[in-house]
Amino acid sequence: MWPICAARNAISATSTDVGPAAPARAAPAHGRAREEDEHTMPPACGPRGCLQSHMSELVALRSVPDFSGTSLGAPLDCIAADLPQLGTAVAVTRNGAAVMTQIGSYDAPCFSGEALRPSCPPAGVAACRPTCLRLCRPMVRTTLAVDQMPASRLPCSLQFFDAEGSALHKSFLMDYGDAFAFRDLQDSWRPAGTDAAEGDAPEDAALLHDACPNDNCARQIDCVFGDYGLKRRAALPGWGRNWAWQVQHKPIFDLLALASEVRMPLLVTVGNAGAVQLYRGPLESVRAAGALTVLGAQGVTVSIEHGEIEEAWVTRIFHEGQPLLILELYDWRYHCVAMITAPALPLPGLGTYWEQLLLSLPRC
């Protein structure tokens, strides 16, 4: 089996969020040289990293020396429908502050605008929950079938990208060690002869609506698509203090630890402009690991860089006729990096406990 650590870090193997390291500069010999050196130095990057543009993740991936891949021409719905038949996979979805990694088989993916599908193993079966993936058709512009990359010890994979070449979702296929079997799989998806299929004009992303408190949980999650939740964040103050309020984000992970102690079934989502990965079930651990807070469950890891979290909001909505509180985390760009909620819990009961936990968070 491929090392889990290699697959878990694969989403960032070709990331270009941080530019290449600058070559070492020799120390100036005297004060005047030092002064001239300071005047010729490029402007320093800000505390949040360099804002200069870099090559996209898609371009960087194709630039890897041992890269071998095919741009698939089959419709996204066709490829997504085959995911449950691909066996065990390492599914990875990330944004600027959070990443969700899950090892297991896929559930049937759903698309923006559709209802949430429950993802639970059969009663009495202690099996890993299947990977739940929610995609936004207008945002997925390129699907690559990437062959094994021995230098980085990565298995065959399917990788989804947006129009700017940013990675939306990566699926590393653990059961496709045979290159010929993976080639047959690619042939079944009618790979495009050129990259022309990548440039097909998508549907207008304006169909991605703004949600209101009366919308169900699925519509709230869909607000991340298109702009990473920027419009949603801008709209929250207009909901009113009884429907959306900002809370201090530092106590949040202690709150989640309390929820894990009672094995409260939660819905945790990590998404970006075109894909949201969902986990529904109890958390088994909440721990700090350096700059990360790691939420763990069977086969699932959600890593959140808590230093990147700028804001946390609690929103009150109506889901299936019942009030529901959602915890939303935003980074310094005001991108929604994670949503955590607990739908379908009994009131009174665990649902009441979830409400009490969120209402206990100090307001800003």
The predicted pLDDT at position 111 comes to 95
Asked whether the beta carbons of 166 and 27 are under 8 A apart, the reply is: no
Q: Dihedrals φ, ψ of 185, to 5°?
A: -65, -45
What are the angstrom distances between the C-alpha of 64 and each of 38, 44, 155, 247, 285? 35, 28, 15, 43, 36
Q: Consecutive sets of 10 residues in the chain, 364 residues long: mean pLDDT of each?
A: 46 42 41 39 47 76 87 92 94 97 94 78 50 95 89 88 96 88 84 45 50 85 95 94 94 94 94 96 92 93 95 91 92 97 84 93 94
Domains in the chain: ranges and CATH = 54-120+129-199 (3.40.1570.10), 208-359 (3.40.1570.10)
3-class SS string, 283-331: CCEEEEECCEEEEEECCEEEEEEHHHEEEEEEEEEEECCEEEEEEEEEE
Interatomic CA distance for residues 290 and 305, integer angstroms: 9
The side-by-side arrangement of strands in the sheet containing 142-146 is: 69-71, 142-146, 157-161, 167-173, 89-94, 98-104, 300-305, 292-297, 285-289
Distance CA 302, CA 24 (A): 36
DSSP 104: E
pTM (whole model) above 0.75: yes
Query: Which pLDDT belongs to residue 151?
Result: 74
Q: Are 70 and 186 in contact (CB under 8 A)?
A: yes
Q: State phi, psi for 133 to the nearest 5 degrees.
A: -125, 135
| Close Cβ partners of 243 (under 8 Å, ≥ 6 residues apart) | 213, 315, 316, 317
Beta bridge partners of 318: 323
Supply the angle between the helices 350-359 and 252-261 in degrees, to the nearest 10.
160
Q: How many CA atoms lie within 13 A of 303 on its CB side?
A: 16
- CA terminus-to-terminus distance, the chain: 47
pLDDT of residue 264: 93
Q: How far apart are CA 202 and CA 204, in angstroms?
A: 6
Distance of alpha carbon 66 from alpha carbon 82, whole angstroms: 27
CA distances from 190 to 5, 97, 185 (A): 32, 35, 9
- Whose tokens are 């449950």? That residue is 84
Q: 160 and 142 in contact (C-beta within 8 Å)?
A: yes
Alpha helices per DSSP H over the chain: 4-8, 31-40, 57-62, 76-82, 179-188, 217-222, 230-235, 252-261, 350-359
CB atoms within 10 A of CB 169: 26
Residues in CB range of 9: below 8 A, 6 or more apart:
none
What pLDDT score does 204 carry? 44
Determine the longest span between alpha carbons in the chain, in angstroms. Answer: 76
Tally the residues of the chain.
364
